[in-house]
Chains A and B, each alone.
Chain A
């Protein structure tokens, strides 16, 4: 007859529990149905008057500030960043946008579209994963290929921490 005795030192612990959806860590600003004019010119400049509403936030990692057209990052990490600006133009032009971190380009989050008068209204948008640091200010910059006046109609800027 043989007796086997468990040896706790040889037995690893049980696997940890599966991860969950989590508590989230995100923030956003947006507008819908605005009519804000700006002539950003042919070199990148900050787009202003884009946002009228501070959107949902959770986790404290992102502070939306629609009054300053920006998001402020409070938690260092990798973020999914999404932006869209919809506009009509006073004349024909290519409208380009680019998210910027403290004024420095984030080319991962950029896009272009052609704009003109009715009915050729367009939207430039971009989405990407970027590394951000606590204190970073995220804003949307843009320019047009010709000197025209844009009328912004809708805009979105969302940051959601991935890691």
Chain B
């Protein structure tokens, strides 16, 4: 029979444990990549419309991408770095411009991440519009991209991304 005797004096504390894993980020994105065909959308002059270019929900944690409704939904309060990009070509219309291509939060324009008076395409030319900024957002906020043209026009959305990444709780 063997007895192990407790060290009643107690040992010194063990060494510190390893550094914890990187925090779980909060982010979400949507994207659509079309090589030769994409979503076509018609605009009426002076009428704002939500851009309906998205086709895939990207990676996400804590932000809900909803490509079916072309939007991101925030589920945690905080400050977020946001970014969007739209690449488009002309289907119909000539000499028009976009009065704006803007991010909207719950339908309200966010000037931090919006463009005014942006380029309308002509045949065979691709145009890329993008914007981004840092916004204070709340759980339940809905992020969408809206646009308005100076004249009736139809464009094809070729590539699109919409991204939100939490920068501060």
A contact residues vs B (CB 8 Å cutoff): 1-5, 7-24, 26, 28, 30, 32-33, 53, 55-56, 58-59, 80, 82, 84, 86, 88, 118-123, 125, 153-154, 156, 158, 160
* Given A24-B169, A158-B133, 16 more pairs with CB closer than 8 A: A2-B2, A5-B4, A8-B12, A12-B14, A16-B18, A21-B23, A30-B111, A33-B111, A55-B134, A120-B119, A123-B115, A153-B116, A153-B117, A153-B118, A154-B115, A156-B113
Asked if residues A121 and B132 are in contact (CB atoms below 8 Å), the reply is no
Could you write out 29 A-B pairs with CB less than 8 Å apart? Answer: A3-B6, A5-B5, A5-B7, A8-B10, A9-B14, A13-B14, A13-B17, A15-B17, A15-B20, A16-B19, A18-B21, A19-B22, A23-B169, A24-B168, A26-B81, A30-B111, A32-B112, A32-B115, A33-B117, A55-B133, A56-B79, A58-B167, A58-B168, A59-B168, A153-B117, A154-B131, A156-B133, A158-B81, A158-B132
Asked if residues B132 and A156 are in contact (CB atoms below 8 Å), the reply is yes
Residues on A with beta carbons closer than 8 Å to the beta carbon of B15: 12-13
